[in-house]
Structure 1
């Protein structure tokens, strides 16, 4: 047996448990919280990853879908040990995770120039590489939040799910637009809309009660968050980009330190499959959910070229405001240099993901070769 960790005392009564397997080797079980209900792109991806993880070694997850922590509770829950690991949405905590939120804020840049086959696959690579290999400030913030970052993910392209149609830029005027990314909120405001910030778990009620007119979000959230019933119109390529401000496998730092070097190495080696599985599921589920929405009578609208051109102009100009905001509001240092790194990574990952964006294993292997293989389990988050 590698070791036996004491059961953590938490308000939920859960924690990391080492159980004796039939072979006499300790099987390490991490209680994993994800604030989505069962049956969506993220939860299915986590389950697929966990099946692979369990089959290949002694570490596995016990996945709690919405039942332990909701999406907004997961970051403090992992920090405080209410879960050993979780699906942490960093955008909900802009000050605590400002360093990694910088590249997440820049996802609309993926559609400048030659658009990628999958913005999600690109941004999952960008943020994972940036946080794990280039951004010690990102790691310092995660440590302050008592967490270890083991990879991001990327949704399919962001669209507008609405109760009234957006057929032209003029239709955005007066619309109350739910935004999870500040840049996308500014995009809506640039056309006369109003940005509304609220957690993803609250979108259904907000749309049903008229608190918001549209949710800027990825199409698979139609199923993940049961938004089919409240969505009447979907406008594609508005605003575009991907939501990737997520620690898809954040581990409690105390748990990480208590694990054996072998188990840490196992998680690092397998984590790229988690990033890939969730990301590709979002891409696949986008097509499926858009088709289902059409069958349910939801009108699918292609954003007109004039709106797409205006969006590209906005994104190009907004990068300077992103720099200013992160420097002034959150005190980020060397923002110009950080933005240059991120822009270069976007171009790099456009090339690396082209042709394999929807191949889960091939994509995972590229993430592994370019990022995870360069991380040492004896030193990563161990100082």
Structure 2
């Protein structure tokens, strides 16, 4: 009998161990399965498993469990444990977060020192800003039952078109598909008309001439299968990436993790934060070169359009602060933008010597993510 009890206890211990090892977190991401973003999400899943020695696993659900518009609410309600949250889709829920997000075109004012590194600069600055300089941002996530674990995004946005664009005159009266409010305002400032639509509708809209251009990062041509309908590209304007809270975690899920597991999740998140801008910048030139080989014309903005864009950026910073105060009671918008501009300058310097994805991930970890207090953050 004693032996049977020992065997039974051993079996129960094995079941308990298996249940811990088998815990799988559901990660909802709105991108198509073939996208570069999903490739990085799969690397993130592998990192979580390796860093937690199999205690936690992540199952990636690309464009299936929740789409972009559903992700924030679905994550809040526990339909997913981790979500790729585009805060720009939800201005009322995340107004403080979006003050920094909407200032992404500030990168254009930093000139050549950030060219080809825009995403790396911006995601470092935004992650540091949100973790340590914006308590209101974290409170907004908490109200949505989410815990912030870093921002990520790709390379700068330009004009992916079905006709040539080099000047403001070319843009006059044209309809542009935009995915964020700052690009919508720029569109109007240069005499064009902004159009909002789902990313899944971009192919049809461009192919049928519903829009003349889509404001988009060049690697998204691959991610959303637009190669067959793009005839002209100009990546000089408007500029700025589309940042997201890429690995937000359901607050109940986060609280159920041990402090060590939270630290490991942040370590994986730092690699994810680095992975997307890195892969986008690596593919940026290739995508444009391949497009040119297919007969797509690559254009450049004339000096007048560049000057108009730069003037718009400076003016728009004041607008963002005033608008968010008026609409969402964000009282310190000017202070936040000034603080964020300093962080952009800081990160423009920090990434200059980075020449590998691992170096970028280590930089993010050492400068930002390792400094998060997991005994307090999100609790």
CA shift for structure 1 position 188: 1.4
1:269 is displaced (CA, Å) by 2.3
Alpha-carbon deviation of 1:22? 8.3
Residue in structure 1 matched with residue 6 of structure 2 by the alignment:
none
* Cα distance, 1:20 vs structure 2: 6.5
Q: How does 1:204-215 map to 2 (within 5 A)?
A: 204-215=203-214
Alignment of 1:84-233 (within 5 A): 84-115=81-112, 116-117=114-115, 118-233=117-232
| Cα pair 1:100 1:127 within 8 Å, conserved | no
SS for the counterpart of 2:353 is coil
How many corresponding residue pairs?
Answer: 362
1:305 counterpart residue number: 303
How high is the TM-score relative to the length of structure 1?
0.90
Residues 113-139 of structure 1 show CA distances to partners (whole Å, capped at 9, x for unaligned) of: 434031111110111111111111000
How many Å separate the matches in 1 of 2:311 and 2:160? 23
> What's the secondary structure of 1:73's corresponding residue?
helix
Verify the 8 A CA contact 1:92 1:199 in the aligned structure 2: no
Kept in 2: contact 1:99–1:137 (CA 8 A)? yes
Distance of 1:94 and 1:23 partners within structure 2: 42
Aligned residues of 1:59 and 1:267 also touching (Cα < 8 A)? no
Q: Which residue of 2 aligns with 1:73?
A: 70
**CA-to-aligned-CA distance 1:328-371 (integer Å, 9 cap, x gap):** 11110211211111111111111111231x52111111111111
**Residue aligned with 2:249, SS:** strand
2:38 aligned to 26, 36, 43, which one? Answer: 43
- Residues 20 and 280 (structure 1), Cα distance of their counterparts in 2 relative to 1, 3 Å cut: farther
Which residue of 61, 83, 87 corresponds with 1:64? Answer: 61
Segments of 5+ residues of structure 2 without an aligned counterpart are: 1-13
Contact kept? 1:158, 1:218, Cα under 8 Å: yes
* Residue in structure 1 matching 2:25, options 17, 21, 30: 30
2:245 and 2:153 mapped to 1: Cα distance?
A: 10
Runs of 4 or more above 6 Å deviation: 19-24
Q: Does residue 327 of the first structure (1) align with residue 325 of the second (2)?
A: yes
**Residue 176 of structure 2 aligns to a residue in which SS?**
strand
Q: 1:272 Cα shift? A: 0.5
Q: Residue 40 of structure 1 contacts residue 220 of structure 1 at CA under 8 Å; is this kept in 2?
A: no
Inter-partner Cα distance in structure 1 for 2:106 and 2:82: 30
Aligned residue in 1 for 2:49: 54
- On the 8 A contact 1:85/1:252 being kept in 2, the answer is yes
Deviation for aligned residue 1:308 = 1.5
Matches of 1:25 and 1:34 in 2, distance apart?
A: 25
Residue 279 of structure 2 is matched in structure 1 by: 281
Q: How far apart are the structure 1 equivalents of 2:268 and 2:22?
A: 16
Distance 1:328 1:34, change over 3 A: same
Deviation of 1:25 after TM superposition, in Å, equals 5.2
Which of 61-70 and 109-118 deviates more?
A: 109-118
- Residues 157 and 237, structure 1, Cα contact 8 Å, conserved in 2: no
Unmatched 5+ stretches in structure 1: 1-18
Q: Which residue of 2 aligns with 1:378?
A: 375
Summarize deviations over 1:91-120 as a string: whole Å, max 9, x none. 111111111111111111112143403111
**Does the aligned pair in 2 maintain the 1:220–1:285 contact within 8 Å?**
yes
Distance 1:369 1:20, change over 3 A: farther
Larger CA Rg, structure 1 vs 2: 2
Q: What SS class does the counterpart of residue 180 from structure 1 fall into?
A: coil
Q: Distance in 2 between matches of 1:305 and 1:174?
A: 20
- For residues 376 and 201 of structure 1, the distance between their equivalents in structure 2, rounded to whole angstroms, comes to 39
How far apart are 1:209 and its partner, in Å? 3.2
**Matches of 1:76 and 1:292 in 2, distance apart?**
38
